[in-house]
Amino acid sequence: IADFQAIQWMLADMATRIEASWMLTCRAATLRDKGLAFGRAASMAKLYASETAMWATIKAVQIHGGYGYVTEFPVERYMRDAKLSEIGEGTSEVQRMIIAKSLLRDGYLAEQKHL
């Protein structure tokens, strides 16, 4: 199945978004380690990573076809776990509110200038 170009593109997109999630997380951690304001960066990382997890697991279910939805394969469990990441520790909507309030209060470059 990996020989199909459509599947290869899905895998490439999944890997790219996961890597971007990792980089956002590293940026937030770096700000925190330096003792700088990191709230917006952490919310951006949480928002993007959790939504990427959900998006990627939906793609994985699609790649697996009918097997992606049955409990005999771990993919359906990964999708349920990913959904929890969107609602646990602050929903995506809450993360968006935190990000927007920070942008409106401090401007975009407030956390940028320290890196």
Q: Find how far residue 104's CA is from the centre of its chain.
A: 23
pLDDT in tens, 101-111: 999 999 887 66
Average pLDDT on 58-64 reads 94
pLDDT tens digit string along 38-52? Answer: 999 999 999 999 999
Q: pTM of the entire structure?
A: 0.88
Domain residues for the domain of 17 are 5-114
Per the structure, the count of domains in the chain is 1
Answer yes or no: 72 catalytic: no
DSSP 113: G
Mean pLDDT of the region 66-94: 91
Q: Which of 19, 51, 72, 89 is catalytic?
A: 89
**pLDDT tens readout for residues 7-37:** 999 999 999 999 999 999 999 999 999 999 9
Distinct helix (H) and strand (E) counts, the chain: 4, 0
Helices 75-87, 39-64: crossing angle, 10 deg rounding: 160
Q: CATH no. for residue 46?
A: 1.20.140.10
